[in-house]
Structure 1
């Protein structure tokens, strides 16, 4: 793993400053005071020049923070010959930068997992030949062959009679889509049925899937930069320190009091308190199965007042489960025969039937003479009986009857026939997570102002979930770009936390003030785009993460205010002549230790 300059530079500065202090002490013992002073001055100068780059860049961007305050402290120490105090400031400053960089070391990870999923080749039809070409070679009006299990490489129009496609990558919908000839097919979908032919509409670089990657990268670039908590106090603290230093020098006529005041006014408490407290908070979160990519996201999470949820795989389980079995025959026998036949199918409904049969401890038989029509149904022999399992249209085509069963657009229904007669209808739904209700209640208790559902599903499905959980608003039929627009719209109500689990959520996760990816599956792209990843597949981690973030931020704020208060008392004492530079430096170290100890409370 390679680390950028911003992460390596603090390490170099810490080692350099520490070496300078040790070497200085060695030269002192060797009766070489001049060498001791030069070594310290050199170390301070290198750190100061490095810091000056950040100060200038910040001022050009209209930002004023702790970097400028630290630069003034080191420059004044160097100017008045208090090199040891300056070197101590350099070590403390570099230490704070290192802690902050370490906490952020995963924040800029690229979209490698997402990019790895982009198809690299496609099968193009030329006359009677099928040629494998790179996706860059695919042009509009080309006919491509998409085999079972392949990812569609470019947006196009379905040329085959029908197709069964998994669109979860783009829409988040758990159930597969059945398309007929003439339907538009989006790149990034997976063919679950027989090989199909697609006429290309757009080149791969202009496809829906490539658009998601571009959206994520654009959202990351456009995300507002967080202002560090301690930076908000930097200008006032610096102004106060300079005022006390100037007043003490004017009143006493002793310019060295300026040094004494500025030494104890060094921003070490401010520099260290926030990164230590937030790094401790991220450590505590990690023990809870919550991976936070740096102190910035943790601080943003602490201030979030709006939460936007994805539906499928986030609030719901992301896979259909059997909820009801209707019909004239025994439900367990209907399920047993259907599940026995579906052992030969990879359809999402077949997986749900098998799981339910095993949960009920039903004895499954081996099927034979199995024939499956992708997107329609499956037929075969089980225990000498001809069993058919499929959609309503599949049954109608075979028997000319319309099955009964539960109504509503939220369910997937599988009709089961035994020897040509309808034996039952099995209803499957993508159920809410068991902890969804408790999580929503927990967020309300924490004072979250607004809870929104942003889903790619149909309005009826999304509205049913939102109503069950008493959410404040529901947005449906959303594309990845639409979800980004929802984030921007909701930001008017305060900082936004986006919670999702799939590739289709990645742009919104990157665009939100803080993005949170949940679950142990389908996290590749979402985890790359998100600021926080819940390793445990539980919604409860959302409440735990916010609680931990708020506590860490409160402790950081306490440490900042306590450090500033103690430094102010020390500045007054130094201005009055009761605290010389050396004693001031020692006292400042005591203040630093007190601040760090308090900040470490965030670990517990």
Structure 2
């Protein structure tokens, strides 16, 4: 269903609730004023639209082979109208339309909050023309057009680099956390981000035929093939329907009084199921949002409570996604802080992600960074300049060694995927900074907590190299590592894992979007993740913390448990009420009022979900230190 259709449906449900409520109130006013004839007309006017909409929904469900609790509500309203119990029918209409409105409200609130996340998706590109630069819609770009890609811009279409050099961040597409160097004539994929200076791109494909568009199509196909999630209440429908019809038929058969059957149907109206379930789940949605977990509706929350297999992306999900210094090796006895201070002071003049990571690390240590002078940057190679009267060179080991007339190398052995940054001061190698993409703090503790909550299988799925992926996961006790995967291969992995039970996929990049859509529950890292992954996901972590996943699952399971408790209590009370009505102790109106009391009881119980207090993850200091030392990710030297 499209957004426009969904909006129209939500408005229609709101209108039905308004009409039913207005009819009930107007009818009560007429009754108080001594005009029962007008009261009956108002009650009928409020019931008929709700009943008509309900019958249409039942027919649609039956065509798709589904049988829900809607049938019980339709029977009770129809029987009450048929035998003149219009007040009872009006009460049932209000309660039923209120339940469907609550479900729509939950999904609508999630969609409104998602709008802010998705508003950053680029819609235009900057194209060279005879009259200068023009901003044009993506669908107007044709092969051969020359585009300007500014720093931070997303490459809008597939093309080739038309400038001497470009640096693009392909983490969203391939999982590589550090920028990739592209020379003139090299292909650049749409969906990657310019991480360096502005460059020109010659388009080779239209937007609809580019890499990014292909991934979007994968998302759409995965969503279309995704099994629909039925409402929790509907799983009780057949048994409850059989009990209701049996008691109503028996009451009519043995007494010959059809009003007893009407009373049974009114008491049996599954308002406890229709109301308690969405109330508990909506409360769970609100509670999860409080912990930075945005769940797009009651269906995903319910499924989240039954997850068996967890599949994690690596870069930006299990790891931080940003290079950090893991060690500093001194070559001539210079203190580590001095090496870092001089390198960071010079790198203030560079916009390269590695340079900015060095500056961030120095500031984190509280180092004073003077402004450099005489700065010269060779894009993708390194930077030279003067800091406090000393000539400093920072860059790739080969670049720095060549500038000081030394052979490259000579630094301690590093693990696969690490980035080594050389630092030279006054013509001598001062040392090397070893950088990597570290595990997120608390990742190991989070995985242990998820296993304790009943997650049976945890896998890593990444587009990165196998040696890097295995290095990252050492000591995490994963059930499997799948490396070098393309977006469609991630989808196949998700589908294959479904044989073990419901699957949750967690990712942050464009390349993860198809797998997020194919999973039973897709979770996106929304704080820094790609808009495509946030769009395809069922759950978005609004804060850049993977450890929010544990509280999110705990809230989902507690909300579902409270919903089931409310359902069982509501059904039990309704069955007792039906028996009382069958023996003539309750009239239809009394049955409706009793049903109101049951509704209030189960709703109050469902609202306990607002007080769910998940166990907050704790991050032992030793674990955080170990995490910073154990993870390596693939990258290129600056």
**Secondary structure in structure 1 of the residue aligned to 2:473:** helix
Change in CA separation of 1:519 and 1:197 when aligned onto 2, cut-off 3 Å = closer
2:459 aligned counterpart, secondary structure: strand
- Alignment counterpart, residue 81 of structure 1, candidates 81, 84, 109: 84
SS at match of 1:346: coil
1:544–1:145: structure 2 CA closer, same or farther, 3 Å change rule?
closer
Deviations 1:500-535 (A, max 9, x none): 233333333232212222353346443333222223
Q: Deviations over 1:4-57 (max 9, x none)?
A: 133223332222222222222222233322222122122211110111121111
Q: Does structure 2 conserve the Cα–Cα contact (< 8 Å) formed by 1:386 and 1:418? A: yes
Which residue matches 1:186? Answer: 189
Map 1:194-343 onto structure 2 (within 5 A). Answer: 194-329=197-332, 330=334, 331-343=336-348
* Corresponding position of 1:597: 604
Preserved CA contact (<8 Å) 2:169 2:193: yes
Matched, 1:423 2:430: yes
Question: Relative to structure 2, which stretch is displaced further, 14-23 or 256-265?
Answer: 14-23
Shift of 1:73: 1.4
Higher mean displacement: 133-142 or 183-192: 133-142
TM alignment of 1:520-539, pairs within 5 A: 520-522=527-529, 524-539=531-546
Work out which of the residue numbers 92, 95, 100 in structure 2 matches 1:97: 100
What is the rounded CA distance, in whole Å, between the counterparts of 1:559 and 1:148 in structure 2?
54
Give 1:145 shift.
5.1
Deviates more, 1:69-78 or 1:516-525: 516-525
How far the C-alpha of 1:425 sits from its partner, in A, is 1.1
TM-score scaled to structure 1, two decimals? 0.93
Gaps of 5+ in 2: 612-638
2:19 aligns with 16
Q: Return the alpha-carbon distance in structure 2 between the equivalents of residues 317 and 215 of structure 1.
A: 26
Q: Is the 8 A contact 2:172 2:530 kept in 1?
A: no
Matches within 5 A, 1:452-463: 452-463=459-470
Distance 1:30 1:73 in 2: 27
Work out the CA distance in 1 between the residues paired with 2:21 and 2:165: 70
Structure 1 position 404 matched with structure 2 position 407: no
Deviation by residue 1:128-184 (Cα, 9 ceiling, x = unmatched): x97647444544455555455443332233455543221123234321112345533
Deviations 1:415-455 (A, max 9, x none): 11223332211101111111111100100100101111122
Match for residue 506 of structure 2 among 480, 499, 504? 499
C-alpha deviation, 1:198, in angstroms = 4.2
State how far apart, in whole Å, the 2-side matches of 1:571 and 1:334 are.
Answer: 81
Aligned to 1:563: 570
Structure 2 equivalent of residue 168 of structure 1: 171
Find the aligned partners of 1:249 and 1:288 in 2 and give their Cα distance: 52
Q: Distance in 1 between matches of 2:159 and 2:16?
A: 55
Partner of 2:61: 58
CA contact (8 A) 1:160 1:181 kept: yes
What is the root-mean-square deviation in Å for CA atoms of aligned residues? 2.5
Q: Which residue matches 2:381?
A: 376
Q: 1:493 to 1:36 in 2, by over 3 A?
A: same
Q: For the residues of structure 1 that align with 2:542 and 2:64, how far apart are their CA atoms?
A: 37
Counterpart Cα distance in 1 of 2:427 and 2:163: 29
Is 1:352 the counterpart of 2:357? The answer is yes
Asked if structure 2 preserves the Cα contact closer than 8 Å seen for 1:516 and 1:530, the reply is yes
TM-score, normalized by length of structure 2? 0.88
Instruction: State whether residues 389 and 417 of structure 1, in contact with CA within 8 Å, keep that contact through their aligned partners in structure 2.
Output: yes
* Equivalent position of 2:390 in the other structure: 385
Provide Cα deviations, 1:218-276, integer angstroms capped at 9, x if missing partner.
43343322111110111221122111111221122222221121111111111112111
SS in 2 for 1:205: helix
Structure 1 unaligned spans of 5+: none
Partner residue of 1:582 out of 578, 585, 589: 589
Q: Residues 220 and 408 of structure 1: is their aligned pair in 2 closer, same or farther, counting only changes over 3 Å? A: same
TM-fit CA distance, 1:587: 1.9
Q: Deviations over 1:458-490 (max 9, x none)?
A: 222222222232211122233333333322222
Question: In structure 1, the residue corresponding to 2:375 is in which secondary structure?
Answer: strand
Deviation larger for 166-175 or 346-355: 166-175
Change (3 A) 1:150 1:595: closer
Q: How many residues align?
A: 602
> Tell me, what secondary structure is at the counterpart of 1:413?
strand
- Write the distance in 1 (CA, Å) between the matches of 2:226 and 2:116: 20
Alignment check: 8 A CA contact 2:296 2:538 kept: yes
The farther-off stretch of 24-33 and 346-355 is 24-33
SS at match of 2:178: coil
Structure 1 residues 115, 362: closer, same or farther in 2, change over 3 A? closer
Distance 1:361 1:591, change over 3 A: closer
SS of the counterpart of 1:365?
A: coil
CA 1:553–1:114: 2 relative to 1, 3 Å: closer
- CA 1:130–1:548 in structure 2 vs 1: closer, same or farther (change >3 Å)? same
Q: Is the partner of 1:279 in helix, strand or coil? A: helix
Residues 27-36 or 291-300, more deviating = 27-36
Q: 2:440 is matched with which residue: 406, 409, 433?
A: 433
